[in-house]
Amino acid sequence: MAVDPRWPVALVRGAVPVALGLLLWVAMAGGEQERQQTLKAQPGADAASLSQRRRHNELIMAALREAAETDDNVAQRRVPWRK
């Protein structure tokens, strides 16, 4: 039983994109620790900024929750929201 000569060509054509993807993945993963250090050094990564951002997100989620629970148009309310 003879091997079809197209098989090696098909294998190479299939292996090249896989190898290229693997090389790109290794190249990107190599700088992961540097990226983590850069993210830690960014302004706003301190505890006070994080807690302030967390509080701001809680207020936004509370407003969205309230808007979802009511039939009123909360976008037209006056600024100091009162129930």
Residue spans per domain, the chain: 7-70
d(CA 51, CA 59): 12
User: Does the pLDDT value for residue 12 go beyond 80?
Assistant: yes
Q: Is the pTM of this model over 0.95?
A: no
d(CA 19, CA 26): 11
Chain centroid to Cα 78, Å, comes to: 35
Q: What is the pLDDT of residue 52?
A: 92
The owner of tokens 């990564």 is 45
Q: What is the pLDDT of residue 72?
A: 75
Three-point CA angle 40, 46, 52, nearest 5°: 130
- pLDDT tens string 18-77: 999 999 988 887 777 888 888 888 877 778 888 999 999 999 999 888 888 888 776 776
